[in-house]
Structure 1
Amino acid sequence: MSFCCRVPLAAFVCFLGCVCNATLLSADQRVEIDQFERTVLATGLVQPMELDLAPDGRVFLIELAGTIKVIDPKTQQQTVVGAIDVTTAQENGLIGLALDPHFAENGWLYLQYSPPDFSGQQISRFTFVDGKVNLASEKPLLRYEEQRRECCHHAGSLEFGPNGDLYIGTGDNTNPFNDSEGYAPLDERDGRSPWDAQRSAGNTNSYNGKILRIHPEPDGSYSIPDGNLFPRDGSIGRPEIYVMGCRNPWRINIDQRTGFLYWGDVGPDAGQDGPRGPRGYDEINQARSAGNFGWPYFIGDNFAYSMVDFESGQIGPPQKADVPVNRSVNNTGAEQLPPARGAMVYYPGGSSAEFPEVGSGGRTACAGPVFYHDAESSSPNGFPAAYNRTLFAYEWSRNAIYAVRLDADSNLERLERFLPDMTFVRPIDLQFDRGGSLYVIEYGETWGVNPDARLIRLDYVRGNRAPIASATASNDVGREPLTVQFSADESLDKDGDPLRYRWISVASGDPNSQSEVIADSPNPSVRFEHPGVYTITLEVRDPSGTVGVSTLPVIVGNARPQVAFVQPADGDFFSPGQTVRYRAVVRDLEDGTSDIEQADADGWHFIDSEAPTRLFVEAIPMAVDGETGQAESPGWNLIRNSDCLNCHAINRPLIGPSFVQIANKYREDPHQIEQSVARVLNGSTGVWGKVGMLPHVQHTPAEVRAMVEHVYSVTADASNPNARGFTNTMSIDRDAAKVRLEAVYSDLGRGKIPSLMGVGSVTLRNRHVQAEAADEFRGTSPLGSDRAEAKQFMGAIEHDGFLRFDQIPLDQTRTIALRVASAGAGGDIEVHRSSADGPLLGRVTVEVNGDWEAFYETTIPLRESQGRDDLYLVFKNERNRGGLMNVDAITFLP
């Protein structure tokens, strides 16, 4: 299985399919796009490959490294039910799964995998019993050899047809790179057979580059169905072959009504037509009967490749689709091949004239199931009748699903993007359940292990949908009496129904506390007279009585500390490896203040001598865009968008424990994950302190599990420098673009009211910045280079182009050093304050050094200036107004 290392592009063609044109459809054919809802059923998957659905609705799913899982879509519980030994070298592993058509009675499942001790693939039957795959029950059906000297293309996919025949996708097992130049790999030179697909996909005696069809028998053997491509006696080719001439058919599906076979075939890499033949195309194919689909002699609509002598480089004539011939020295099968058939849908990396709906970009075509609408189904969430007789194809590289509309005779009618506003992160398998809901495995962003791999279900929700409650509050912490402003403005009803609101309060940690309705308007102002920790629940109810809920805490009786930096100021510079001195001031209504002048002038209590131990300062590296270095896992994204960070921080306790504390307590006990999920969903008290965990019923169990798994993965980052005390120093060694200093002060609480924390922060900027990190640029563009510091520089520089850097502390900057190069016209770099034609602070001439990427350093002394202002680096050359120079990096020197 291989995608030939393509880099996906971001270009797509936007269009309107008939699903959006509801006015032209009858009532039973109309589709309301916003009725489609996505439910996350499982996260934390590791290279998920293929799924199948048991009759009782359970999802069986395999992962590349050999793990077999069962996921209950009702409880969203995932269980490892087996693991087989595989090799994962060269993209091998556990690559195919299918449940027996009579799985409910016999418990049989079939796996396609790469044994560690065999150079090839094996298809075996196993028995699922007592909730586990019995590995000792293995019945090997078929083995086929592969070469492992070179990559690629193992494909891997299993599907049963309506009459119990098992279809097996196999790749051409051929290296597509090097001298093939992205065209057909036809290299017949000595020792080059791994580069010759004529020995596999074009070879009637090879199982590779095929879709096989066998009929499993009860005793663990198999028979050959009628209608395969070659006779049962093997006189022409392997009798198991149903389709030959495939490159990488790694996702196949069978129309369960017609028995027609569909598959996506991942094509070669050539970007344009040439003397060797056509550019690369991916294909969606339909086989109504056994046949040859052309590879490696044809691609797309039987576009022919030229026969190339790789020894001499001579390019010969192309093959003929009606009489293809395999005369390769590596061919062990028939010379005369069956006529080649063209693809049903085919498209290149660029825009497709024939099928513009697929857009452009990377290519990894896959064929999913054919949907048939069941008017008698009792399921309320199955796909609508408008999609009856539709093949759902999909694109792993383009993060998209396509509706391939078929007519009554299963001919292609039209093709359209399915749910174009919904992104599917590399879909890798699709299956419909019996109720007509679509299950999708999202593989995740890269070919490797991804934190965003997950299983989702797409439902078409008819009738009323539950409203979504979203509660927010301002002034929700402080001394009594405390007036809190609540808001339900972000709540919504997808059906546009009017909503009724109810706000309910209960004192947390008090077993005698009774819930109390405190308001029934969307944006109430509520006064709390007595100290306490209160759990506030917002209920939103639609006219049918369906309810959505959201919760948040209110703490009355203790004011939150105020923390601010006196030194350094926001936007000041830091230099990696050098010491930063800070001074922070704390003011707390209960504890007092660390500002002795305020204590004397205003009569505040001067904060006690132990307080500095409760002030923790941390330097947190940040990216250019201002985000912290925290991993962008699905769990972290859910945490940031929920209310978790109101009570928790990563490295320090707030109202609740830090994520590091939670992880250190529980990560070694896997049973705690489910208990933590239950606590987050249902709420809890007394586990970590006086303030209980609020219920989070607005999240699904799968979402909460992703959040908990992320928390369990957190570790204390010892590389983040930190210090204690109101005044101190720390050395920042990390070479980050920016660093945020956070000062966190823990107060002493007040009676039964728990301790609160106040946070103050400033952001410091590295004196050394990449030119492409400018806040604005004109007349220049970022370009790539391995010789640039961050693999990018600013080039294509024109006269009067500029780079702008916002709010530079001018009294901390006396000289600017630049890494520059020029093999063009050269010119001046001027430094201006406030605007591109503002006051001139300095200038330097960039000399031509004859190499665009041989960067050298030059400096610009600046006139003495005070305050903070935007600095513009303006490029000048009146005589030669283009191709002036390149700029890699900039340092603002003291």
Structure 2
Amino acid sequence: MVITLLQALVYGKKRGFFSGLLFYLLLSCFSSQAQTLPAGFSRVQVASGIAKPTALAFAPDGRLFVAQQDGTLRVIKNNKLLTTPFLKLKVDSNGERGLIGLVFDPNFASNKYLYVYYTLANSTRNRISRFTANGDVVVAGSEVVVLDLDPLSSASNHNGGAMHFGKDGKLYVAIGENANPAQSQDLNTYHGKLLRINPNGSVPAGNPYTTGSEQRKRIWASGLRNPYTFAVQPGTGRIFVNDVGQYAWEEINDATTGGKNFGWPAAEGVSTDPQYDNPFYTYKHAYGTVDGTGCAITGGVFFNPTTTNYPAAYQGRYFYQDLCSKWINVLDLSGATPKRESFATNLGYYALGLTVGTDGNLYYLERSANAIFKIIYTTNSAPKIVQQPVSLTVTAGQSATFSVAVSGKTPFTYQWQKNNANISGATQATYTIASTKAADAGNYRVVVKNSAGSATSNSVALIVTGFNNPPVAQIITPAEKSFYRAGDAISFSGEGTDVEDGTLPASAFSWSVDFHHDTHHHDGPPVAAGVKSGSFTIPTSGEVSPNVWYRLLLTVKDSKGLTHTTYRDIYPYLATISLVTQPAGLKVTLDGQPINAPFSVNSVVGLERSIGPVANQTLNGKTYVFEKWLHGGTATQTISTPKENTTYTAVYRESNTTTMRLEAENAYLQGVIVATGHGGYSGTGYADYNKLSGEYIEWTIQAPTAGIYNLSFRYALLSGTRTLRLAANGTLISSAFPFTATGQWTNWASKSVSIDLKAGINKVRLTSTGTMGPDLDYLEVTPSSNVSVVDLRIYPNPAKSYLQVELPATPSANCTLTLYNNQGTPVFSTTRDNQNPKNQSFRIPVANFPKGLYILKMQQGKQEISERIILE
């Protein structure tokens, strides 16, 4: 996720957050360009040596807690990083997993509770746990599991992890979709959501979804991709969620009100689809470090501290930062629409975790520097050294760098001195000796001046020890220009030598893998340290961009502490996936996002991709429904990118009376055990166009008991009037059952009648005195109040994510439930022992099915119960 010094790559879609330290990012703690901030502001390093920081939070007493991805929680107290960690958890730190979130209980001062979000060491899921503090360390054995989240896929990215307490005292938790976009719209999983829970993990009152699964009841907002950070405004309780985008846009979403759906994967950025909630603010992706554009929003905070010396104009504003573009921007929220302003530029790479300290200053992390920084403000005009240089001990031939940070009125002039004498040309905030020698040893300081005065830094020592040849690292395998497929196991081996030490032992070896994507990278699969050879496996899911590769790095260290790093890049085999439709010009989904076909994309061979249909599309005035993929398989399916270029064709058919006749054929039979027979002209066929007189349509109904039943019919006519005759068991019920023209296919005339049915088999027939067409939609049968029937309960209907099914208890042990799509094709089936109370209530997941009409049938011997289901 760093813009590399060795390769210029085209920036496109992205994604991932965390990164290891690139060996070639020389002196990344200090930019070659000075930081640019408003007058009076300065960036100051708070602490360094924090390996791969992921999140930070202030305790009410002013201590700063910082999470490391490896499971270590560190404490900074009185501006010092404590040696002893507060907590050390066993975690899976692969990719973007690990210890990635923390928050303090609002009553921490009395109960000493803090909460962390981490990935279990067995990689199965992320967990939210509560711990109790005892001073600067955790109380041993105090972990209380608050909530275990849903199982993780093999993809290690998009975990989210941010946590905050709201104004209401509830715990809000942001969770990524784990590189499975469809999960963002599935209300039966936590993935891709903002949760609202009680501090003990239970469901609080006031959440938008009060029924259904336990996941659904905890959800506050949905349709999120990777909400790595979010913020709650002190006082107002306003919630802004910073959601990392994919192709073009970064989003700040207002989730103050529960129940919002921010649209991912169907929408990214501003959408015209009214079923989704648009972002409060967006910014574009761009190359390089252009202020206001970037690659990933990784921090945001409302500036409402209790006390601060920042100018009053910043109160109530929203600060946010980008991972790659080295800036912090600020939104003025005072108007009807937010107004963006630049605040800081030319900061370090991989900035994240922006927050406000108890001292009223902004704080944030820089993973490229393994450090924490704060931004301070002073009204002093004269220069003030706010970050002093530090003493150094180096081996002759190594570089040495001194640096300071200064506040005051700009511009400044700098003059570095050795032993109180000016050094020619040393006139920047940073002074570097590229290759030290014994004569460079001495005391160094800098004199800083501006128009209002001057300041002199502390004098610090440079000690230069005797020359020592650095070691040399060599990667033997994999070979240069190696390639991979997703799922491959990559073997590696290397050697290390040193002039003074000779051949270096395995204990001197350190390996790492970076996964590069466009202009940035994040951590790749973990590899063992202290070995000369080993292997790692390329995952089959995760980032879908073709502009990716893996970099294997080997670092060797000699006995005097000098190191050398080398690397080997491994590139992917690519193949083209083409998506087309019949007829041409319709839409399909790729990785959950709707796209216009025909569409082609390069993909890493072996990488899993999701393809699916888009239901009920209109093209040239005609409506189409999905029928099948030419290659077979379910409507929404996961494919493994093949070795050869491959075309996948989605077949759609025009939505016409065939579908409506199918509805009549399956019927809508509610509350009665039925067997749906279907007659027609001459005893076969359907109610259809232009048939001869004497057409009929017939249903077979098995009533559980004799009594009065209510029958309802719907009929569509473009013009004229159709008079039908209704008979039950051969007895004429009505000789004049008229239906008047509705004028449109989609409008229906309805008729209802009560008839007396016998227990057992009944034949109900509608007969036309002329042609029956255009179309009969359905028969609905409901018992009157004096009839006791077996009932199949299904809800919600219409449904989006799941169907809750409650089976009737019947004397027979086994029943089969089958869900049919509007083509009559079974898409789900299960057999249940519904004498067992545990089997009488269960869920059918339907989030991945195309929307439209479905029929759910319960079959028990020769008996059926059928329900008409609408999926939205």
| TM-score normalised over the length of structure 2 | 0.43
Q: Which structure carries more helix by proportion?
A: 1
Name whichever structure is richer in strand by fraction: 2
Q: TM-score, normalised by structure 1?
A: 0.42
